[in-house]
Amino acid sequence: MAGTNPGSMCTDTTNLLFVQYSCEQNKEEQSAKFNHLIVASATASLISLLFVLNLSSLYKGGKIQQLEWDISTVTAGDYSVEFDIPRRNYEEWYNRTYL
* 43-63 pLDDT tens trace: 999 999 999 999 988 888 778
Amino acid at 16: L
pLDDT band (50, 70, 90) for residue 25: confident
- pLDDT, residue 1, reads 47
Rounded mean pLDDT of 30-37? Answer: 94
At position 10, the amino acid (one-letter code) is C
Question: Looking at residues 55-83, what average pLDDT do you find?
Answer: 81
Q: Do residues 34 and 25 make contact, with C-beta atoms less than 8 angstroms apart?
A: no
Mean pLDDT of the chain: 82
Residue type, 91: E
Pick from 15-19, 73-77, 87-91, 93-97: least confident: 15-19
CA distances from 52 to 46, 48, 56, 63, 70 (A): 10, 6, 6, 17, 27
